[in-house]
A and B are shown apart, each in its own frame.
Chain A
Amino acid sequence: MTETAGLTRPAAGAQTPPDGTAVCIFAVCHAQTAPDLDGLTGHPGGGPVRTLAAGPLTLIAQSVSAADFAPEACAERFSDPAALESCARAHHAVIAAVARGGPVVPLPLATLYLGPERATAAVAGRADRLLALLERLCHRAEWGLKVYPVRSTPPAADPPGPDSAPAADTGRAYLDRLRNRQQERERQHETAWRTAEHVYAALARQAAAARRLRPQDPALTGGSRRQVLNAALLLDHDREREFRDTVAALARDPAVAAHARIEVTGPWVPYSFARLDDEEQERPADAP
């Protein structure tokens, strides 16, 4: 639900349209891309998923009840993980279907306009930037790169840990164990972080663009360990094999495998690279 400079919820909630409906925009693609929207239901309770023409661009839109997407209703619904998930999946299903026909700029979840005219006008007003973005995304896909720390074997000097300290222990010995444990933890953090940087640098070199994302909540990923790296790479389709080979080589490298586990997902619709507001934050592929 990130802001797409001026395209996000421009006026929803400010006023209610006369007939109680609003237009939800999922994505923007080239006018010559003919997306196959058959079988798509979009958001439950809304009208059919359809296209709106905006000059050289096409919008993928659906009429929805304005009340369902009012700011208060959205806040309530999106604080429930299950409701947020089903809404995000509906949104993604539409975007994924359009992406099968050609490059697509996905818009943030619940991007609403008061009417079709306002939606097309907003998109037409940014046509140049959207066309440039579509050009950039052509023949490319997003790949997710996540690195998790691997717990290395505990040092022999500290077998049970202070938790199970024997009763006859001395204060000095306890402090020494404490120090060892802290140093060991810091060392492991440091190594995992360095390894992740090494992996990121090696793979970002092959990408057209790369960016770091916020590490995901362990509660969502199902793992107990926090990611040391969560990144997105924009990769040319014809470099996919090379990319996979590099990932495999890195994962086999004992210097990497001892400290980190690499997880690669994709190909994805380039959500992380289809934002109008922050191209300048991305790292050009060949920057040092």
Chain B
Amino acid sequence: MGGQRPVVSPGRRMDLDEDSVGRDLVALVLTVVELLRQLMERQALRRVDSGELTEAQVERVGTTLMLLEQRMTELRTTFGLRPEDLNLDLGPLGSLLPRD
């Protein structure tokens, strides 16, 4: 198959100029971080709902996650990325992160 062209889903062909490569890479890295963050949130909710944490632990977990989310929002703002930019279309599997 054509060697130089990466195979990308229609309409989102990767554009290999210098500026967009940097931005795409940031978006990709932040997407992975965002995935981990959302997984941590889900796991935390499960732990809290199971009742195995003390009130103080719940408060600490909640505060940590809240700060993590704020930090994520700041990072997105810094790089000019919208929440929906941090996602990957997995074709028939749907999207990596849930869409609202």
* Residues of chain A at the chain B interface (Cβ within 8 Å): 72, 75-76, 79, 81, 84, 151, 162-163, 165, 169-175, 178-179, 182, 185, 214, 217, 219-220, 224-226
Contacts and interface: CB of A to CB of B under 8 A. Distances in A.
A217 B89 CA distance: 9
A76 B6 CA distance: 11
Contact of B59 (A170, A179, A219): A170
Contacts of B51: none
Contacts of A174: 62-63, 65-66, 69
A171 B60 CA distance: 6
Interface string B49-84: 100000000111111111001100100000000011
Contacts of B89: 217, 219
Most A-side CB within 10 Å, residue of B66, B91, B94: B66
A226 B99 CA distance: 9
B78 to A, nearest CB: 15
A279 to B, nearest CB: 23
Contacts of A162: 66, 69
Contacts of A72: 1-2
Nearest to B58: A172
A35 B60 CA distance: 75
B12 A219 contact: yes
A165 B58 contact: no
A225 B60 CA distance: 36
B11 A220 contact: yes
B1 A175 contact: no
Nearest to B60: A171
**In the complex, the 5 A-B pairs of residues with the closest C-beta atoms, listed nearest first:** A171-B62, A171-B63, A219-B11, A174-B66, A81-B10
Given A174-B62, A174-B65, A185-B100, 10 more contacts: A163-B73, A165-B70, A171-B58, A171-B59, A173-B62, A175-B61, A217-B91, A219-B9, A219-B11, A220-B10
A214 B1 contact: no
Contacts of B83: 163
Contact of B62 (A75, A81, A84, A172): A172
16 contacts: A76-B1, A79-B2, A79-B5, A162-B66, A169-B66, A171-B59, A171-B61, A171-B65, A174-B69, A175-B61, A178-B45, A179-B45, A179-B49, A217-B10, A217-B91, A219-B10
Interface string B1-37: 1100101011110000000000000000000000000
B11 A81 contact: yes
B2 A170 contact: no
Given A165-B69, A170-B59, A171-B65, A75 B2 contact: yes
Contacts of B64: 171
Contacts of A182: 42, 45
Contact of A171 (B5, B66, B70, B100): B66
Contacts of A172: 58-59, 62
A277 to B, nearest CB: 20
Contacts of B69: 162-163, 165, 174
A185 B97 CA distance: 12
B63 A170 contact: yes
Nearest to B66: A174
